[in-house]
Structures are given as C-alpha cells and as structure tokens.
Amino acid sequence: MSHQKTEQEWQAVLSPEQFRVLRTKGTEAAFQGEYTDKTDEGIYCCAGCQTPVYKSTTKFHSGCGWPSFFDAIPGAVGRQPDPRSSGQEIICNACGGHLGHVFKGEGFPNPIDERHCVNSISLKFQGGDGQQ
C-alpha cells in the first residue's frame, strides 16, 4: 500500500518539489502551479499515489493563486487541524500526502461555501479523454 512507503521510497518516486509539498507539508508559490487556471474536464489525482481526489466539476476560480475546489471525491480527502493556518490541512486519505488547506465561510458562490486550496504539484490531472 502507498501509505506504507518509507521517506526514502517517497524520495525515490517523487520530484524534490513534490516531496517537499506532499511529504513535508510545504506550499508551492502562488500563481505558479500547472493547474491553477486549468478548466478542462477530468479527474485530479494525488500525485503521490494516483488516487482520484477531485473532479473538475467541483473546481472553481477563486483568484487565490492555487487550484480551488468546493468539494472532494467522497472519502478521498481527510482533514486535520493545522496550527500554522486559519484553515484545516487536507490530505490524501490513501497515502497521507499533503494536498493543501480547506477554508469555510468565505462567501464563494458554491453549494457548500468551502474552498479547498490545493497545491498543483500535489495533483496529477487525467482528462476525460485520457490525456494528462
């Protein structure tokens, strides 16, 4: 199982920046991520273990500089307190990789008034036509 990997095994399969974000809870620079403005239809998977975590149908433009989603695929994303942030940390439930943070009550026009602020580097996009 993916979550059983040692840190050395993660370092062998992830780029240094993916490792920094997914495994040591880093954050990529705002407005630099590959998926910040992507609008194609498809599925966003965890870059660490390839588990589907978000659908493009829940992605929205928030202007925050990172990909924003209002909901995750059921059961795919966990939440835990993060004393370093005003939001809760969100992680891939399959491998424990750090995805970003979730914020509530910001007034965005989505069904549940949540913003999952996700690092692009934590994700791997799979288009509806099978393209990445």
Q: Which two tokens stand for residue 116?
A: 């999952």
Of 45, 49, 95, 117, the catalytic one is: 117
φ/ψ (deg, to 5) at 30 = -60, 145
| Residue 92 designated active-site | no
Q: Which residues of 34-70 are buried (b: 16+ CB within 10 A; e: fewer)?
A: ebbebeeebbbbbbbbebbbbebebbeebeeebbbbb
φ/ψ (deg, to 5) at 58 = -105, 5
Catalytic residue set: 117
